[in-house]
């Protein structure tokens, strides 16, 4: 991989090496700035929620590094020395510049769309029906929905938030997780297909009919049959597809029985487009939810987005 030329991104600014040994610790500079502005160690300590000795130590740390005094003692009070008065504008300008930089980054972040990753089925059958309402309530949070064929892999390099299915332990030091719904497995088919199946259908006899499976979830039918106390005969499966969205469309069209692993058919069942050929359902390990990097979870727009969907029925 070709090395990125940083100079091309930032210009001559990157050509000068910073002598970090010359820079006092940031925490100590905060103490110095507050103490100078108040001309009081006590007031600086109260502002920064630190103790009086902590502020005194920070000031001493800078003075020892510079080899000079920044404050003089006058009774119980302190007053800036000539060196302290000379140093303060530079420190204040540096803090003001940092604040401006933070504001610029925040503004830039808010200006670009929030990138939301989801697999095809969750996008079509859950998110797409809810996103318009969110955008009406929060028009200042534009959304860029990116769909993929994988429902359990979060691409943190290209997405801010992911709607994924998680069935393994999460690294909570690295990621924030907002659970949405459990994974409940149950079969569905069209009403016409169900009527053609006849009476007395059980989990055992279900294997005599066309079953539609996901190529990425071979174990799902096995788990469902096992939970019903039936040994699954793999030869029963007649077709594998790559997404649940395709499997459900085939089921609606009367081509077989699909297995659902989330709340993706509620509307179809209300309309009567899909029915359960048998009532048995089983709860699987894991569940669906929103994921994002830990540091991004503090963003107002990401927190607003995830909390809104968490409370959405």
Q: How many domains does the chain have?
A: 3
Q: What angle do CA 240, 251, 255 make, to 5 degrees?
A: 75
Return the H-helix or E-strand segment holding 158: none
Q: How many CA atoms lie within 13 A of 179 on its CB side?
A: 8
- Closest CA relative to residue 31, chosen from 58, 70, 69: 58
Residue 46 lies in a domain: yes
* Statement to judge: residues 219 and 278 lie in one domain: yes
Q: Which of 141-150, 193-202, 230-239 has the lowest mean pLDDT?
A: 230-239
* Statement to judge: residues 28 and 175 lie in one domain: no
pLDDT digits (tens, 9 = 90+) for 190-223: 999 999 999 989 999 998 899 998 877 768 888 9
Residue 193 lies in a domain: yes
* Statement to judge: residues 159 and 302 lie in one domain: yes
Instruction: Say which CATH number the domain at 209 has.
Output: 3.40.190.10
The pLDDT assigned to 107 comes to 61
* Statement to judge: residues 79 and 140 lie in one domain: no
- The residue with greater pLDDT, 14 or 226, is 226
The pLDDT assigned to 157 comes to 84
* Statement to judge: residues 61 and 44 lie in one domain: yes
Return the H-helix or E-strand segment holding 65: helix 52-66
Mean of pLDDT over the chain: 87
What is the C-alpha separation between 78 and 292, in angstroms, rounded? 48
Residue 215 lies in a domain: yes
Residue 174 lies in a domain: yes
Residue 13 lies in a domain: yes
What is the C-alpha separation between 54 and 43, in angstroms, rounded? 12
Q: How far is CA 89 from CA 92, 93, 96, 127, in A?
A: 5, 6, 10, 52
pLDDT digits (tens, 9 = 90+) for 69-80: 999 998 888 999
Quick one: pLDDT band at residue 292, thresholds 50, 70, 90? very high
- Closest CA relative to residue 149, chosen from 219, 243, 214: 243
The pLDDT assigned to 1 comes to 42
* Statement to judge: residues 95 and 136 lie in one domain: no
The pLDDT assigned to 129 comes to 87
* Statement to judge: residues 47 and 122 lie in one domain: no
Q: Structure tokens of 268?
A: 């179809």
Mean of pLDDT values over 268-279: 95
Q: Structure tokens of 52?
A: 């009086």
Quick one: pLDDT band at residue 249, thresholds 50, 70, 90? very high
Residue 65 lies in a domain: yes
Q: Over pLDDT 90: what percentage of the chain?
A: 58
Predicted model pTM: 0.64
* Statement to judge: residues 225 and 187 lie in one domain: yes
Decide the pairing of beta strands 211-214 and 237-241. Answer: parallel
pLDDT digits (tens, 9 = 90+) for 159-172: 999 999 888 888 88
The pLDDT assigned to 254 comes to 95
53 Cβ contact list (under 8 Å, min separation 6):
none
Instruction: Say which CATH number the domain at 99 has.
Output: 1.10.10.10
What is the C-alpha separation between 148 and 119, in angstroms, rounded? 5
* Statement to judge: residues 160 and 302 lie in one domain: yes
Q: What are phi and psi of 188, to 5 degrees?
A: -140, 155
* Statement to judge: residues 97 and 160 lie in one domain: no
The pLDDT assigned to 242 comes to 84
Residue 1 lies in a domain: no
Q: Structure tokens of 209?
A: 């009919």
* Statement to judge: residues 299 and 237 lie in one domain: no
The pLDDT assigned to 20 comes to 79
The pLDDT assigned to 79 comes to 94
* Statement to judge: residues 74 and 163 lie in one domain: no
Containing structural domain, residue 190: 183-285
Q: Is the pLDDT of residue 184 over 80?
A: yes
- The residue with greater pLDDT, 10 or 134, is 134
Are the C-beta atoms of residues 121 and 260 closer than 8 Å to each other?
A: no
């Amino acid at each position: 991989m070709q090395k990125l030329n940083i100079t091309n991104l930032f210009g001559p600014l990157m050509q000068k090496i910073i002598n970090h040994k010359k820079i006092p610790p940031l925490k100590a500079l905060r103490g110095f700035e507050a103490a100078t502005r108040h001309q009081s160690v006590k007031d600086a300590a109260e502002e920064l929620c630190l103790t009086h000795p902590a502020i005194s130590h920070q000031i001493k740390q800078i003075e020892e590094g510079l080899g000079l005094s920044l404050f003089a003692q006058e009774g119980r009070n302190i007053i800036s020395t000539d060196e302290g008065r000379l140093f303060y504008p530079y420190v204040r300008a540096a803090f003001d510049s940092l604040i401006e930089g933070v504001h610029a980054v925040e503004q830039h972040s808010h200006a670009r769309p929030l990138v939301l990753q989801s697999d095809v089925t969750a996008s079509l059958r859950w998110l797409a029906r809810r996103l318009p309402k969110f955008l009406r309530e929060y028009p200042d949070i534009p959304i860029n929905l990116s769909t993929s064929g994988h429902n359990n892999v979060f691409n943190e390099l290209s997405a801010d938030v992911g709607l994924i299915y998680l069935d393994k332990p999460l690294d909570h030091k690295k990621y924030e997780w907002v659970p949405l719904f459990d994974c409940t497995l149950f079969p569905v088919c069209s009403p016409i297909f169900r009527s053609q199946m006849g009476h007395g259908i059980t989990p055992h006899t279900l294997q005599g009919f066309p079953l539609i499976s996901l190529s990425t979830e071979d174990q799902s039918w096995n788990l469902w049959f096992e939970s019903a106390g039936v040994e699954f005969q793999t030869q029963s499966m007649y077709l594998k597809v790559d997404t649940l969205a395709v499997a459900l469309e085939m089921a609606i069209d009367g081509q077989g029985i699909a297995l659902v692993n989330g709340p993706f058919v509620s509307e179809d069942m209300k309309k009567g487009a899909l029915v359960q050929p048998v009532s048995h359902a089983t709860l699987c390990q894991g569940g669906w939810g929103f994921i994002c990097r830990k540091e991004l979870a503090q963003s107002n727009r990401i927190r607003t987005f995830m909390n809104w969907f968490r409370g959405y029925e």
